[in-house]
Amino acid sequence: MTALIPTWVGDDLVAVDKLEAHQRGLRHKAVSVFVMAGEDLLIQRRALGKYHTPGLWANTCCTHPHWGEDPLSCAQRRLKEELGITGLTLSHRDQVEYRADVGGGLVEHEVVDMFMCRVPSRVALDPDPEEVMETRWIGLNALNAAIRMYPERHTPWLRIYMAQHAMQIFA
């Protein structure tokens, strides 16, 4: 069972099943979080059981707000659910829109609230294995190099964020 997420149908914002929104390529709300320790960004490799982009590297965490949930609460909830991270002060960086084919006939057409947090040292993690199969801290230059060498190993949205929105996120 998937959640009902805020989705635009025409000019109206309505609650639509998350899988249906992806199957129909409907424009919907999302959040993305970026946690940095020094020059290193925490990224995650999506669990193999995910219904799209399994096994690919993504930003610290991302999700869709539930119907009626504000973006900041959603970002904090998802950090805890996916990575066991609590207590961070997130800074809203911007809102961006993108559309990307994520395979299997599914399309992400997202209006994304992006959040960032700089921490003094690497935070303790307790990843949910049904969500995250691996984590790593990586410098932005190294991440960009990895995306150039192996784009197929990274989610479409991470490639878009790094190519088109890095200044908005990391400045």
Q: Is there a catalytic annotation at residue 62? A: yes
Give the SS3 label for residue 162.
helix
Is residue 134 flagged as an active site residue? no
Cα distances from 99 to residues 21, 45, 106, 110, in angstroms, run: 12, 21, 11, 6
Angle at which helices 156-164 and 140-149 cross, to 10°:
120
| Residue 31 pLDDT > 60 | yes
Per-residue b/e over 110-132, b at no fewer than 16 CB within 10 Å?
Answer: bebbbbbbeeeeebeeebeeebb
User: Which domains are present in the chain?
Assistant: 17-170 (3.90.79.10)
Active-site residue (options: 69, 82, 108, 110): 110
From residue 124, alpha-carbon distances to 20, 33, 100 in Å are 35, 16, 32
Which pTM value belongs to this model?
Answer: 0.96
At 77-126, the pLDDT tens digits run: 999 999 999 999 999 999 999 999 999 999 999 999 999 999 999 999 99
Pick the catalytic residue: 61, 62, 74, 117?
A: 62
